[in-house]
């Protein structure tokens, strides 16, 4: 990696140490806790699936039954009762799921012999691990078979019709037009559901429900296009909201390739409780890591919420924190698609140079990370012609600074979710720009003390000052006092706090143990 900005390596290392120090006490908190959705994710990995006639998913039924029987049972981990029911009834996972959906209560059975339960659980863990490993291997095999066929940066497009079958048409067309990554954006409000809907869905607002069946349908469709095009098409969805780890589990099982996963997005932008989010994000990221799924973090949101020029440092600060929380969960740099965005007010003089400086800075500070670069959205307007010009500038910066994942801007961003032709115009624009300036990054350097270098140094300095301030009071307090994204989130406020679970001395989660072992990370140890 070229070093064009001459940022001080020492200062960058110091910023990383600050992030490490901030994340450390949070990690201690996380490791002592589980949550309803962490438990449900564990059940999903074990095979719990389906829903009752009212649409309540089996994993929710099980967790609710166990909690209703005795709230302290969840402190042992929910899996104990589910596997106990498997052992006692002698049924298969599918049979047990059907019974639960029909009203059977797993907590009604007394606990049987521990060794038998553990043997059965080990079998389930192996089965899940094998399936996920298989997915990872299939992805790796296809990507190496078709190496060099994807665009660089990867061109990323969103579909959002609300109807999975319509999404398939749009996604197929987008892939045929040259997109490498298809993200199925979720319906408004799914983040606030404390369950994951079941089955294929055709009704959504501004997006499509993330369900395991929808994942499967889209995966199959993209695999088909990929075979035709001899180019691997990556599938993305959102592990965010109140069900982060469950959606991560579904993504791992259905071979998604990328997932939106930010350590603080839920807290700041969806008003989800902070403790809950920190606990959820870790387990979800462990699953992502094991599945070889690239996470995409949500730094762009800081820039759309506040002024993008003034608050540029919040992006770097968040990237460093996301990186640290990612490391804690076993994600290597190559799976850390840290986010940033081209969101400055287009009327700022030299705005382009500042954007270039910040994109290059991200590249140099995170050299191995597949950075996810987001297009202008906030200042997009009904003037689609201006919008197209802004997207062209964005495409230029992305290629000039070797970004990894390039989310294509839509000229109609301010108007509606994209039409099919909007996506085509976006791909066409990006391909034109990126081909036209292929060698630019290699050929061009920046003037010493010029606008670009000065801006990068300034943002790094501001980031360090900010992280020092956050470190001084601790992350929980910093969020409570509104240091991030200008919003204040009380520690015990927000949604989902009631779903937090303190791990008991005999907490048992063999999936978590297996992930920790395979990922080489440590977590809290239960008492057994």
Partner 1 sequence: MRVVRPYGDTLDDGKVQLSFTLPVPDGAKGREAARKLVLSWGFKDCEVTHSHPLSADFSFYVAYGKTEASIDYDSVVADEAESDGSMDMDGVNAFIREHIGRKVVIVGACTGFDAHTVGIDAIMNMKGYNHHYGLERYPMVEAYNLGAQVPNEKLIEFAAKVKADAILVSQVVTQKDVHLRNLAELVELLEARGERRKYVLVAGGPRIGNKLAVELGYDVGFGKGSYADHVASFVVRKMVERQRS
Query: Do 42 and 512 contact (CB within 8 A), yes or no?
Result: yes
462 binds ligand B12, rule: CB under 6 A: no
- Closer CB to partner 1, 107 or 151, in the complex: 151
Question: Which x/- pattern over 156-185 shows residues binding ligand B12 (rule: CB under 6 A)?
Answer: ----x------------------------x
Residue 328: which of partner 1, ligand B12, none does it interact with, CB under 5 to 8 A by kind? none
277 binds ligand B12, rule: CB under 6 A: no
Q: Which stretch binds partner 1 (CB under 8 A): 142-150, 267-275, 317-325, 448-456?
A: 267-275
Q: CB-based contacts of 169: which residues, under 8 Å, 6+ apart?
A: none
Catalytic residue of the set 300, 354, 373, 503: 300
Residue 413: which of ligand B12, partner 1, none does it interact with, CB under 5 to 8 A by kind? ligand B12
Secondary structure of residue 154 in the 3-state scheme? strand
Task: Find the length of the chain.
Answer: 528
Residue 377: which of partner 1, ligand B12, none does it interact with, CB under 5 to 8 A by kind? ligand B12
301 binds ligand B12, rule: CB under 6 A: yes
Among 414, 441, 451, 524, binds ligand B12 (CB under 6 A): 414
Distance of CA 300 to the CA centre of its chain: 13
Question: Which x/- pattern over 164-183 shows residues binding partner 1 (rule: CB under 8 A)?
Answer: --------xx--xx------
Query: Do 83 and 124 contact (CB within 8 A), yes or no?
Result: yes
According to DSSP, the β-strands at 33-35 and 500-502 are antiparallel
- Is residue 265 annotated as part of the catalytic site, yes or no? yes
Beta carbons within 10 angstroms of residue 461's beta carbon = 14
What's the per-residue H, E or C state across 107-147?
HHCCCCCHHHHHHHHHHHHHHHHHHHHHHHHHHHHHHHHCC
Six-digit token string for 382: 């009904």
- Closer CB to ligand B12, 73 or 302, in the complex: 302
Among 94, 348, 421, 444, binds partner 1 (CB under 8 A): 421
Six-digit token string for 263: 């350590």
- Closer CB to partner 1, 189 or 353, in the complex: 189
Task: Tell me the C-alpha distance between 26 and 281, whole Å.
Answer: 12
Of 511, 490, 389, the residue nearest 80 (C-alpha): 511
Residue 158: which of partner 1, ligand B12, none does it interact with, CB under 5 to 8 A by kind? none
Question: Which x/- pattern over 187-206 shows residues binding ligand B12 (rule: CB under 6 A)?
Answer: -xx----------------x
Catalytic residue of the set 372, 399, 495, 503: 372
Residue 500: CB minimum distance to ligand B12, A: 23
- Closer CB to partner 1, 206 or 346, in the complex: 206
Among 424, 446, 466, 508, binds partner 1 (CB under 8 A): 424
Angle at 157 between CA 156 and CA 159, to 5 degrees: 150
Handedness of CA 213, 292, 126, 32 (dihedral sign): negative
- Closer CB to partner 1, 304 or 454, in the complex: 304
Torsion of CA 367, 368, 369, 374, to 10 degrees: 50
Count the residues of the shown chain that bind partner 1, applying the rule CB under 8 A: 25
Q: What is the DSSP letter of 75?
A: G
What do you get for the CA distance between the two ends of the chain, in Å?
A: 47
Task: Tell me the C-alpha distance between 123 and 266, whole Å.
Answer: 34
Binding site for ligand B12 (CB under 6 A): 160, 185-186, 188-189, 206-207, 269, 301, 304-305, 377-378, 380, 413-414, 416-417
**Active-site residue set:** 265, 300, 372
Residues that bind partner 1 (CB under 8 A): 162, 172-173, 176-177, 188-189, 192, 205-206, 269-271, 304-305, 378, 382, 414, 417, 419-421, 424, 428, 487
């Amino acid at each position: 990696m070229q070093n064009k900005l001459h940022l001080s390596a020492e200062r960058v290392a110091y910023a990383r140490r600050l992030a490490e120090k901030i994340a450390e006490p949070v990690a201690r908190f996380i490791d002592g806790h589980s949550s309803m959705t962490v438990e449900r994710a564990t059940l999903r990995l074990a095979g719990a699936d389906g829903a009752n006639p009212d649409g309540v998913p089996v994993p929710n039924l099980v967790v609710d039954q166990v909690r209703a029987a005795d709230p302290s049972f969840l402190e042992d981990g929910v899996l104990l009762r589910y596997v106990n029911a498997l052992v006692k009834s002698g049924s298969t996972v599918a049979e047990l799921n059907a019974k639960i959906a029909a009203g059977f209560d797993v907590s009604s059975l007394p606990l049987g012999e521990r060794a038998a339960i553990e043997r059965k659980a080990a079998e389930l863990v192996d089965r899940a691990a094998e399936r996920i490993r298989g997915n990872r291997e299939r992805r790796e095999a296809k990507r190496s078979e078709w190496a060099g066929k994807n665009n660089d940066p990867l061109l990323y497009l969103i579909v959002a019709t609300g109807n999975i079958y319509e999404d398939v048409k749009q996604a197929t067309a987008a892939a045929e037009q040259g997109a490498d990554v298809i993200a199925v954006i979720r319906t408004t409000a799914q983040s606030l559901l404390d369950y994951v809907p079941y089955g294929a869905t055709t009704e959504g607002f501004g997006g499509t429900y993330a369900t395991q069946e929808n994942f499967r349908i889209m995966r199959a469709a993209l695999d088909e296009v990929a075979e035709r095009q001899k180019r691997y098409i990556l599938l993305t969805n959102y592990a965010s909201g109140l069900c982060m780890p469950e959606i991560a589990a579904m993504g791992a099982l259905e071979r998604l390739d990328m997932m939106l996963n930010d350590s603080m997005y839920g807290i700041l932008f969806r008003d989800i409780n902070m403790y809950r989010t920190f606990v959820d994000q870790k387990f979800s990221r462990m699953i992502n890591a094991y599945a070889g799924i690239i996470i995409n973090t949500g730094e762009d949101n800081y820039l759309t919420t506040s002024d993008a020029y003034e608050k540029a440092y919040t992006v770097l600060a968040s990237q460093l924190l996301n990186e640290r929380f990612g490391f804690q969960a076993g994600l290597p740099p190559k799976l850390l698609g840290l986010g940033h965005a081209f969101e400055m007010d287009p009327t700022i003089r030299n705005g382009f140079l500042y954007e270039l400086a910040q994109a290059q800075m991200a590249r140099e500070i995170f050299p191995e990370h597949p950075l996810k670069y987001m297009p202008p959205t906030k200042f997009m307007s009904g003037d689609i012609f201006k919008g197209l010009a802004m997207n062209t500038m964005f495409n230029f910066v992305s290629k000039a600074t070797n970004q990894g994942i390039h989310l294509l801007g839509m000229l109609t961003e301010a108007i509606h979710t994209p039409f099919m032709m909007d996506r085509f115009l976006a791909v066409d624009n990006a391909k034109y720009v990126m081909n036209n300036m292929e060698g630019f990054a290699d050929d061009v350097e920046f003037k010493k003390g010029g606008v670009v270098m000065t801006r990068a140094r300034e943002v790094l300095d501001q980031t360090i000052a900010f992280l020092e301030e956050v470190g001084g009071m601790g992350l929980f307090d910093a969020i409570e006092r509104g240091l991030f994204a200008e919003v204040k989130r009380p520690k015990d406020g927000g949604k989902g706090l009631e779903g937090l679970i303190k791990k008991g001395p005999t907490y048992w989660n063999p999936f978590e143990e297996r992930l920790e072992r395979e990922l080489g990370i440590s977590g809290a140890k239960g008492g057994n």
